[in-house]
Amino acid sequence: MRSLCAVFGSLKVNRITVEMVRSYMTGRTRAKVANKTINLELGILRSVLKRAKLWHLFIDEIKPLPVHSQIGRAMTLDEKLRLTKTAAMRPAWQNAPLSR
């Protein structure tokens, strides 16, 4: 919210333009903010604009940024051994026995 308020906080909602929103997105991207975070911030702005009945002016121009999900990978044998060794040294990591 702070980032949105810093840019749009002093403006009346009907003064926000597509170019301003694009500039905001570009600035956040250059600041190395994750696309998911930018999309969440745009969701807040979209809610405000919808409530003001102005989102229809932006809907065709402003699209969410692509979010790349990170797919996990299988652990190597060395990683499994290190995890097992670490878990053995930490009692809090032990599993409770299953009762039958």
Please tell me the predicted confidence (pLDDT) of residue 15: 94
Q: 64: exposed, middle or buried (C-beta count within 10 Å: 0-12, 13-18, 19+)?
A: middle
Overall pTM surpassing 0.85 (yes/no):
no
At 82-97, the pLDDT tens digits run: 988 888 888 877 775 5
Q: 28: exposed, middle or buried (C-beta count within 10 Å: 0-12, 13-18, 19+)?
A: buried
Is the residue at 34 inside a domain? Answer: yes
Number of domains in the chain: 1
Closest to 19 (Cα-Cα) out of 29, 30, 27: 27
Is the residue at 73 inside a domain? Answer: no
Please tell me the predicted confidence (pLDDT) of residue 96: 56
Please tell me the predicted confidence (pLDDT) of residue 78: 93
Q: Could you give the CA distance from residue 92 to residue 74 in angstroms, rounded to a whole number?
A: 24
At 42-75, the pLDDT tens digits run: 999 999 999 999 999 999 999 999 988 777 788 8
Token output for 71: 């797919």
At 12-46, the pLDDT tens digits run: 999 999 999 999 999 999 999 999 999 999 999 99
Is the residue at 89 inside a domain? Answer: no
> 8 and 20 in contact (C-beta within 8 Å)?
yes
| Domain span including residue 63 | 2-67
Backbone angles phi, psi at 29, to 5 degrees: -65, -45
